[in-house]
Structure 1
Amino acid sequence: MSDSSASSRPLEQQVFDEWPATVRALFDGSSLAQKTGFTASLLSIDANGDVRTSLLSVGELYAPDSRTLCIALWPQARAARAITQTGRAALTFVCDAAFYQVQLRFAPLASVASDDSGLVYLLGSIDTAQAQSVRYARLTGGITFELEGEGRDVLDRWEKQVEHLKRAAAATRR
């Protein structure tokens, strides 16, 4: 006799065009030290058709409102070059026991005079998005990490990066 209870519970999909409250709270730019360890995968396609992945922390992501996401990337990252060329990327991550995949359209984000990090800042808008989960299994995490050694320096850098994202995002709304 087989147990069909697990197979009788279908995949649950939530399609959205605005960040759910739990995701928005994750990307709100606050309490970065408590959110350390969270990782999102930013996937892009380069000019050769190759998939490029950048792993991003909460120190490189900021949602200024319910439909956009600002990101900070190192200029030498292949994903940064690919997104600059195509204007598109997908962000995947685990949050609140669900797997998220968000297709984003990107444009350059205005620089703020006080930033000397050399980072590339981009403003993304949600194109299509979905969250997936199943009732018989709970996602407890995705890719995670622990800061070591110079963790305080990294948190300080994240604070500056997110502040830049906040100021640049506010400047685009004026």
Structure 2
Amino acid sequence: MSDSSAPGSTPASPLEQSVFDEWPDAVRALFDGSSLASKMGFTASLLSVDTNGHVRTSLLGVGELYAPDSRTLCLALWPQARAARAIAQSGRAALSFVCDAAFYQVQLLVTPLAGVTGDDSGLVYLIGSIDTADAQSVHYARLTSGITFELEGEGSAVLDRWERQIEHLKQAAAAAGR
């Protein structure tokens, strides 16, 4: 796609970029841990770099992300995920996703999250704070989605697991004072 301007006029920048250090309202609502079934299909890409300099990616759904406040994000990851190991080593990750017609990229400072009782899932719980973040959009194209998915087969079991994971993330965030 290209940006066309009237001849002789100064073209406006097609890129709109905003920098933030607190979750915008639309993002906070997405990561509030509620109404997971209605948010089904949303996918965020969690990127990290391992000690060999390789980028590792984990794709996460809304049942694995919870924002307990305006500057924090709790994550639930499988311990065998390469991204989980890379984050444990570096304490850093980047989360990218599409929300409210914009592309978001958020740099996170990440630490382990304790305080989950009664959890036998084997998941690793982490808490990240926003280091730097921006959202980008262009006036000539509206982002409608990023990576999306559809659950097959045991979808209701996955949704039930996500509900439990969010409850565990809420419990751990509360124990951490968030």
The TM-score, its normalising length taken from structure 1, stands at 0.96
Contact 1:17 1:67 (C-alpha < 8 Å) held by counterparts: yes
Tell me the CA shift for residue 112 of structure 1. 1.4
Equivalent in the alignment of 2:16: 12
Within 5 Å, give how 1:1-174 maps onto structure 2: 4-5=4-5, 8-173=12-177
Q: For 1:9 and 1:3, locate their aligned partners in 2 and report how far apart those are by CA, in whole Å.
A: 9
Q: Which 10-residue stretch deviates more, 52-61 or 108-117? A: 108-117
Q: Which 10-residue stretch deviates more, 105-114 or 153-162? A: 105-114
Contact 2:101 2:142 (C-alpha < 8 Å) held by counterparts: yes
Q: For 1:120 and 1:88, locate their aligned partners in 2 and report how far apart those are by CA, in whole Å.
A: 15
Contact 1:41 1:53 (C-alpha < 8 Å) held by counterparts: yes
Tell me the CA shift for residue 87 of structure 1. 0.2
Tell me the CA shift for residue 113 of structure 1. 1.7
Q: For 1:109 and 1:121, locate their aligned partners in 2 and report how far apart those are by CA, in whole Å.
A: 5
Q: For 1:164 and 1:16, locate their aligned partners in 2 and report how far apart those are by CA, in whole Å.
A: 27
**Letter paired with 1:34:** S
Q: For 1:105 and 1:29, locate their aligned partners in 2 and report how far apart those are by CA, in whole Å.
A: 21
Q: For 1:113 and 1:91, locate their aligned partners in 2 and report how far apart those are by CA, in whole Å.
A: 27
Tell me the CA shift for residue 74 of structure 1. 0.1
Tell me the CA shift for residue 50 of structure 1. 0.1
Tell me the CA shift for residue 3 of structure 1. 6.9
**Letter paired with 1:141:** S
Tell me the CA shift for residue 78 of structure 1. 0.1
Q: C-alpha deviations, 1:10-39, integer Å up to 9, x for none?
A: 210010000000000000000000000000
| Partner SS state of residue 71, structure 1 | strand
| Partner SS state of residue 155, structure 1 | helix
Contact 1:32 1:155 (C-alpha < 8 Å) held by counterparts: yes
Structure 2: unaligned runs, 5 residues or longer: none
Q: C-alpha deviations, 1:16-67, integer Å up to 9, x for none?
A: 0000000000000000000000000000000100000000000000000000
Structure 1: unaligned runs, 5 residues or longer: none
Q: Give the RMSD, CA atoms, in angstroms.
A: 1.5
Identity %: 81
Contact 2:3 2:140 (C-alpha < 8 Å) held by counterparts: no
| Partner SS state of residue 110, structure 1 | coil
Give the paired residue count: 173
